[in-house]
Amino acid sequence: MGWETRRGGGRYYTRSRRRSGRVVREYVGAGLIGELAAAADAEARQAERQRRAVEAAERDQVATVAALTADLCRLVDAQAAAALMLAGYHQHHRGEWRQRRDRDRDRPDR
């Protein structure tokens, strides 16, 4: 997008657009029409920059909250595992928690 001067004539404003995978220059106008189009395009670019900045800030906040949540989950899992172990449970094949058998009770007296 920009102002162009060709063959010694006046300046005119063009836009670059992508059509069917190719970049095509679109003539907008000269004089007041070109200036208005240039101002409108500049405002649109600024609004897009602001929208992207807001989205990036939101993504950063979500990533921060996700990291804190993952840390909290790890701590809670560790505390739960410690409490279950103290209560006499063990984790069976990295799956469910089972209460340990009293091996002395299960053995027949000799």
C-alpha closest to that of 62 among 30, 97, 4, 54: 54
Predicted TM-score (pTM) of the model is 0.60
Q: Does 30 have pLDDT greater than 90?
A: no
**In the chain, what are the domain boundaries?**
2-100
The pLDDT tens digits of the residues spanning 42-91 come to: 999 999 999 999 999 999 999 999 999 999 999 999 999 999 999 989 98
Structure confidence at residue 110 (pLDDT): 47
Measure CA of the first residue to CA of the last residue in the chain; give whole Å: 95
Cα 1 to the chain's mean position, in Å? 30
